[in-house]
Amino acid sequence: MAELQDHFDVAVIGAGVNGAGIARDAALRGLRVVVLDKSDLCSGTSAWSSRLIHGGLRYLEYAEIPLVYESLHERRNLRKIAPHLVKPLRINIPIYKSGRRGPLIIRLGMIAYDLLSIGKAMPGHDILSRDELLAEVPGLNSEGLRAGARYFDAQVAFTERLVLENLLAAKSAGASIKTWHRVTRMNISSCRIQSIDWTNERTGEEGKLTASVVVNAGGPWVDRVLATVTSNANRLIGGTKGSHIIVGRFDGAPNEAFYVEASADGRPFFIIPWNEQMLIGTTDIRSDETLEELRASSAEVDYLLAESNRVFPNAKLDVSDIHYTYAGMRPLPHRKKGPESAITRKHIIKVNKKIARNLISIIGGKLTTYRNLAEQTVDRVGKLLQRRLPECRTHDTPLPGGWGLDEAKNALESFGELSEQCVKRLLEIYGRRAQALADFAISMSDADLTLDEAATVLAAEVRFAIREEFALTLADIVFRRTMIGLWPDQGRPLYESIANIAADELLWDERRRASELRSLIHYSDSMLAPK
The reported pTM is 0.95
Structure confidence at residue 234 as a pLDDT band (50, 70, 90): confident
Residues of the chain with CATH 1.10.8.870: 405-525
- CB contact at 8 A, 54 and 368: yes
Average pLDDT of 321-327? 98
Question: 446-466: per-residue pLDDT in tens?
Answer: 668 999 999 999 999 999 999
Average pLDDT of 58-75? 87
Q: What is the bridge-based pairing of β-strands 4-13 and 206-216? A: parallel
- CB contact at 8 A, 113 and 125: yes
Among 292, 256, 247, residue whose Cα is nearest residue 39: 292
DSSP notation for 418-432: S-HHHHHHHHHHHTT
Structure confidence at residue 113 as a pLDDT band (50, 70, 90): confident
DSSP notation for 284-353: -EE----GGG----HHHHHHHHHHHHHHSTT----GGGEEEEEEEE--PBP-SSS-GGGS----EEEE-T
Residues of the chain with CATH 3.50.50.60: 4-45+160-235+344-385
Q: What is the CATH number of domain 4-45+160-235+344-385?
A: 3.50.50.60
Q: How far apart, in whole angstroms, are the C-alpha atoms of residue 204 and residue 14?
A: 19
Q: How far apart, in whole angstroms, are the C-alpha atoms of residue 347 and residue 363?
A: 6
- Residues of the chain above pLDDT 90, percent: 79
Q: What is the bridge-based pairing of β-strands 240-247 and 322-329? A: antiparallel
Structure confidence at residue 349 as a pLDDT band (50, 70, 90): very high
Average pLDDT of 521-527? 97
How far CA 470 is from CA of 464, 473, 477, 481, in Å, comes to: 9, 10, 9, 9
How far CA 396 is from CA of 102, 155, 272, 413, in Å, comes to: 39, 19, 29, 28
Query: In sequence order, what are the beta bridge partners of 198?
Result: 183, 207
Q: How far apart, in whole angstroms, are the C-alpha atoms of residue 418 and residue 352?
A: 53
Question: 196-209: per-residue pLDDT in tens?
Answer: 999 999 999 999 99
Average pLDDT of 302-324? 98
- Which fold would CATH assign to domain 405-525? Helicase, Ruva Protein; domain 3 (1.10.8)
Number of H-type helices and E-type strands within the chain: 15, 18
Q: What is the CA radius of gyration of the chain?
A: 23
Query: Greatest CA span in the chain, whole angstroms?
Result: 73
Q: How far apart, in whole angstroms, are the C-alpha atoms of residue 135 and residue 38?
A: 51
Whether 4 has a pLDDT exceeding 60, the answer reads no
Query: Running DSSP on this structure, what letter comes out for residue 377?
Result: H
Q: Which residues contact 12 (CB under 8 A, 6 or more apart)?
A: 19, 22, 23, 26, 33, 34, 35, 36, 215, 217
- Strand locations in 3-42, DSSP E? 4-13, 33-36
| pLDDT of 1 | 39
Whether 296 has a pLDDT exceeding 70, the answer reads yes
Residues of the chain with CATH 3.30.9.10: 86-153+239-333
Q: How far apart, in whole angstroms, are the C-alpha atoms of residue 474 and residue 110?
A: 44
Per CATH, is 86-153+239-333 categorized as 3.30.9.10? yes
